[in-house]
Amino acid sequence: MLTARTIDRIVTLALDEDAPWGDLTSETLIPADAVATADLVAREDGVFAGGEVFAAAFRLTDPAIEVGLHVADGGRFIAGRRLATVTGPARGVLTAERIGLNFAQRMSGIATLTARYVDAIAGTGARIVDTRKTTPLLRAFERHAVAAGGGHNHRFSLSDAVMAKDNHLGVLTATGADLTDALREAIARLPHTAHVEVEVDRVDQIEAVVAAGIGTIMLDNFTVDQLREGVATVAGRARIEASGGVSLDTVRQIAETGVDVISVGALTHSARALDLGLDLRIDLGR
């Protein structure tokens, strides 16, 4: 998902937003021939993500700037670790600094939170996945950060798979149609083979959905006891996803019920930006 084209497009928009008519401060105060060297340094422990995005902020500002990455995406680090080094014209370094940091802090924060969830369920057989609760236009960046943290990506967009949630089912059965038959007929109309997932919010809905031959059933906002009952009811006939009510305090218990997938919206909608800083040195003459 995180292609060079996507990186350049989004980072360019961010740079244009931040300096639509240039960086007035740097152009006024910083000599044109000043050269800067800056280190991206961790102020706290974490998992790195967004190295190529960070580098793009400087490259797109001034192609003369060079960025060396010292930690790969997915790499764990402790406070004080140097993550990257930036060298080049000081004006460009200062202009790109905030955009580069914003992306690296955001993406590393997501990767770090994801890693905590992944670590919490180690050995259970379940896997952590993200959701579509992402920042508009930044989904590719945020989903990449989830993967860097050891998580997995759910469907990227509405075009990728069929996921019938409660409102879809309400419309589908509004005429009183049998749920199993309605799902079978709808799936038969698909123009190509696609993965189909259906959400249920009660145990008594499970059998009708599984009988339609869907690939994944989502158990939404089930208690731990209800999840165990749901796993027993499905009995291996479909993949089981648990969603809703997931936190670092509950995720281990949820994983131990035997579900296959645990989706966590908080990975992208509630991750705290990691504290990273750019420590800069100026050389006034080449």
Binding residues are: 98, 131-133, 155, 165, 199, 220, 243-245, 264-266
The catalytically annotated residue of 23, 73, 97, 199 is: 199
Active site includes 184?
A: no
The catalytically annotated residue of 98, 127, 228, 252 is: 98
Query: Is 67:58 a contact under the CB 8 Å cutoff?
Result: yes
Query: Is 101:86 a contact under the CB 8 Å cutoff?
Result: no
The catalytically annotated residue of 133, 228, 237, 239 is: 133
Longest dimension (CA), the chain: 79
Active site includes 252?
A: no
Query: Which residues does the annotation place in the binding site for substrate?
Result: 98, 131-133, 155, 165, 199, 220, 243-245, 264-266
* 170/262 Cα distance (integer angstroms): 24
> How many CB atoms sit inside 10 A of residue 209's CB?
22
Give bridge partners of residue 149 from the DSSP assignment.
none
Active site includes 98?
A: yes
Coil, helix or strand for 210? helix
- Angstrom CA distances, 201 to 9, 163, 205, 210, stand at 40, 14, 7, 14
The catalytically annotated residue of 220, 229, 256, 275 is: 220
* 15/86 Cα distance (integer angstroms): 17
Active site includes 66?
A: no
Question: Exposed e or buried b for every residue in 83-107, given b needs 16+ CB within 10 A?
Answer: bbebbbbbbbbbbbbebbbbbbbbb
Active site includes 207?
A: no
The catalytically annotated residue of 165, 184, 228, 237 is: 165
Catalytic residues: 98, 133, 165, 199, 220
